[in-house]
Structures are given as C-alpha cells and as structure tokens.
C-alpha cells in the first residue's frame, strides 16, 4: 500500500473533528481547517469522547487561514453543504499537489461543487452513518454508530455504470480502518446516497418540523407513522430512478433509529443555533432528481415548504 497518505480536514466539527482526530491518533499526518475555535485547538488541543475510547490530542496541526495549509494527498470535505461557496478558495490550496477530495456531506450530488473546482476525476463522495456532536471548542462527543461508506463520484450516475471500487478508494478504506474508523469502499455511491436519504429526509426534516429528538419521533405513534410514510416515499423515488435500494431498507432505517441513543439530528441543531439548514442538498436535489423521471414526492415536497418557511424566519431572527 506504500506510505501513509496525508489528510486535510476541512471543517473541524462533529464529523471532521472525530474522523480527523482518529486519523491523527493513528499516526497519520493530518491538517485541520477550523473557524471559531482554531486558537483554542492550537492552545488546548482536540478532545474527543467516543465509544472507541476517549482521547486528547495535545498537539494539532490546525489553521484558520487556508493559505497556510499544506498540500495533502486526501482532502476530506466535512463542511455543511451550505458552506460550499467557500470551496473554490479552499480546495486549490489543499489539493495543489494533485490530491484527491473525499466529500463527506449529507444530501444528493453534493460532490458537484468540489468537482467544479478540482475536476470530477479527483473526487470521491461518501455518507457517514454517525451520531456525533460538537459540544464545545475543540470538543467532540461521538455517541453512536460511525460508519463511512464512500466511492467514486460521477456527475451522470443515472446514465452510466458505476465506476467500481478503485485502487485509490481501497487505499483510503485501508487507512481509515487502520485509524479505527468503520469504513467501506463501495462501487455504487448513488445507492449509498439514496439509502442515507431514507434517514436524512424523514428524521432531519421531522426533527425541525416537530421540534423533536429521534427518540421522541420514534416513541409517538403518529410521528412514527409519518416518518415511515416519508421513508417509503423516498424509497419509491429511488426505485423509480433505477436505484436498487432493497425494500428491507425501510424497516432497517426504522429499527436502527429505535436502537439509536437519544439524539438531536444535525438539522435540528442548525435550526436551534440559527444556522442555515441543508435544504437544497437533502431535499431539493432529491425532489428534482425524482421529478426528472416523472416521480412525485408530495410528502417530502410539503415538508420542504414548511422547512423553508422556518429556515427563512429563523435566519431573519438571527440577523
């Protein structure tokens, strides 16, 4: 496999702080781009609480200025997709040696923004099945799950066969696993994205619309029935687009959420803290993809309208 690759972590939050921290703990050369807590991390290090074993990294390569970051072999995009307008200033710096980009963001076709900057042939994408929160400056609390499923990105996934599991994907998979991360390379990123949408759309959306944790949604008969109806609608859209999500995945999502520790979905936290919600990446892109094939998503569309109203009012209130 050769020498260990170097990693740039763009966004040191619940996701980037956890996975980047695990890579750094595992002896990899890791460089973090942080925002408000960059100085804190530089002085105090990175604290990670995780079922994998709590740890503290006292010396972290952390930057608040992208111009000071080195070129890395792999750049992990762990920003919210609402911040993708920053990527044209970031990615040319960290990938200037020809490095690859691994986009770990929620939603559908979120890799397109990175591909426009560095080229489609240098981009991979992945989904994180993860319960993790940033609870303070340089402080990550990982609660449950943690799997990454990732693969090669294609801007035309419905029109041509998936590219297969490449050698570079295999190397990233091996290195993530060496760091203690549950990682799996896939030959079908599109399938993975739609599987994750079957969780993200109902539970991120309902967490805001109902102002409820995942546990509260699962414990009330009406909210559970609504979540299941939305999951089924997303599944119907995926199948209509010839994305072969097994029907068993519907119940699997429900069962996994029932077993999950009480958790505030990321969209609910964004709403609570007055941050923009990832409505385009998670909702609009799925609705548009389905519509292009003549498939309606009325429940998802109705929830998107409600969330757009809440998002607009919330952002005005935080000005």
Q: Which residue in the list 80, 100, 195, 196 is annotated as catalytic?
A: 196
d(CA 33, CA 8) in angstroms, rounded, equals: 8
Count of CB atoms situated within 10 Å of the CB of 258: 12
Buried residues in 82-93 as b, exposed as e (16+ CB within 10 A): bbbebbeebbeb
* 194 contacts: CB under 8 Å, gap ≥ 6: 108, 234, 237, 238, 241, 243, 245
Per DSSP, the residues of 140-201 read EEEEEEEEEEEEE--S-TTTS------HHHHHHHHHHHHTT--EEE-S-HHHHHHHHHHHII
Whether 91 contacts 106, CB under 8 Å: no
SS3 call for 76: strand
Determine whether 196 is an active site residue: yes
3-state secondary structure of 291: helix
H-run or E-run covering 72:
none
DSSP 48: E
Tokens of 274: 């007055």
- Cα 201–chain centre separation: 13
**Residues ≥6 apart with Cβ < 8 Å to 243:** 190, 191, 194
Please list the active-site residues. 196
């Amino acid at each position: 496999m050769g020498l260990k690759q170097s990693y740039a972590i763009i966004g040191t939050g619940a996701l980037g702080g956890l996975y980047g921290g695990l890579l750094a703990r595992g002896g990899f050369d890791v460089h973090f781009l942080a925002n408000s807590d960059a100085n804190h991390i530089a002085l105090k290090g990175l604290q990670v609480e995780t079922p994998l074993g709590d740890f503290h990294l006292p010396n972290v390569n952390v930057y608040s200025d992208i111009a000071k970051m080195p070129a890395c072999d792999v750049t992990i995009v762990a920003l919210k997709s609402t911040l993708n307008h920053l990527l044209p200033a970031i990615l040319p710096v960290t990938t200037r040696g020809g490095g690859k980009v691994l986009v770990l963001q929620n939603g559908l076709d979120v890799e397109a923004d990175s591909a426009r900057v560095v080229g489609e042939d240098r981009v991979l994408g992945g989904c994180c099945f993860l319960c993790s929160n940033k609870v303070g400056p340089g402080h990550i609390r990982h609660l449950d799950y943690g799997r990454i499923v990732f693969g090669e990105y294609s801007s035309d996934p419905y029109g041509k066969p998936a590219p297969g599991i490449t050698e570079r994907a295999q190397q990233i998979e091996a290195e993530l696993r060496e760091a203690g991360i549950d990682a799996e390379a896939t030959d079908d990123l599109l399938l993975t994205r739609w599987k994750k949408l079957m969780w993200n759309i109902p539970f991120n959306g309902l967490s805001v619309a109902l102002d409820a944790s995942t546990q509260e949604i699962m414990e009330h008969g009406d909210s559970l029935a609504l979540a299941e109806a939305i999951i089924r609608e997303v599944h119907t859209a995926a199948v209509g687009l010839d994305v072969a999500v097994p029907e068993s995945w519907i119940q699997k999502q429900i069962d996994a959420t029932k077993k999950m520790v009480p958790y505030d979905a990321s969209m609910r936290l964004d709403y609570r803290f007055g941050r923009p919600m990832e409505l385009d990446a998670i909702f609009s892109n799925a609705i548009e993809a389905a519509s292009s094939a003549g498939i309606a998503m009325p429940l998802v569309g109705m929830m998107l309208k409600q969330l757009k109203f809440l998002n607009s009012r919330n952002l005005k209130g935080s000005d």
